[in-house]
Amino acid sequence: MKKIIISDMDGTLLKTDKSISKNTIDTVNDMRRQDIDFTIATGRIYPVVLDTVDEMNITKPLILCNGAIIQDPITQEIYYSKTLDNSIAVEILKKIEKTNCYFYYYTDDSINAKSLKYTTAHYNEQNKKSKQEKKIKINILEEVIEKAKNDIIYKIVALDDNKDKLEDIKEKLKEFKDYITIVSSYHNNIEIVANGVDKGSGVKFFAQKFGYDIKNIMCIGDEENDESMLKVAGFSVAMGNANNNMKKIADFITDTNDNDGMSKAILEFAKR
């Protein structure tokens, strides 16, 4: 009876300083000897997770871009993908630009924005320390929306520390409600993907495609974009630092991401 742990990254697998606890790495390796494997479900794209794939020795397919891409970490084969309609994506970018919120979008292999700030600034600093083959492709240009017209877009992210501005964007995007899904992965962002795309749908596809009984899948996370996968998991876990909604729907509430919450949750899963 094979089992698998599917984990969010930020606020879950990763500590606040973006490192991974040695206890977590050791626990995951121990679990593999008991036929309990491990992979990630994240809002990020493939090039952004390579260090985590290596550090955690992940060989099972990755659920990327909030479920918009399911990709093999070794061969890079894409088993599933769903993009935003390009014309709608461009209109969304234009509406966000008018609010003066920061925004960027993902293709399957790049991040695209008008300037370096928030996430793009973080990845730019990360690139300075990375080997060439692990550098993240970041395209910074003033006319980024023009570029978007010719890109295949998987996800759009808007960021601002003023929550009212983000709520305003969500209101403006209601006209596209039949075509998009909007969630948040942090208090200062909203993430826009195609309708029907979420981590929960990714987990269900993963289970069917790779022969897992959903009851033998543990999903663990901390933010709104993780809710859908906790709702479908056989064993759902909210981090101690998770939002209250996550804690309400979880089967188990573990410790925080800075206090080995991941390792403790995995050990609980192994008992079941």
The angle, 0 to 180 degrees and rounded to 10, between the axes of the packed helices 163-172 and 86-98 is 140
Instruction: Quickly state the pLDDT bin for 134 (edges 50, 70, 90).
Output: confident
| Structure letter (DSSP) for residue 211 | T
This prediction has a pTM of 0.96
Measured between its terminal Cα atoms, the distance across the chain in Å is: 12
Distance CA 47, CA 33 (A): 28
Distance CA 251, CA 270 (A): 14
CA distances from 175 to 82, 95, 111, 181, 190 (A): 20, 12, 26, 12, 16
Interval 24-62: pLDDT, tens: 999 999 999 999 999 999 999 999 999 999 999 999 999
| Of 29, 39, 49, the residue nearest 6 (C-alpha) | 39
Find all residues with CB under 8 Å of 145, minimum gap 6, and list them.
90, 93, 94, 97
Interval 214-266: pLDDT, tens: 999 999 999 999 999 999 999 999 999 999 999 999 999 999 999 999 999 99
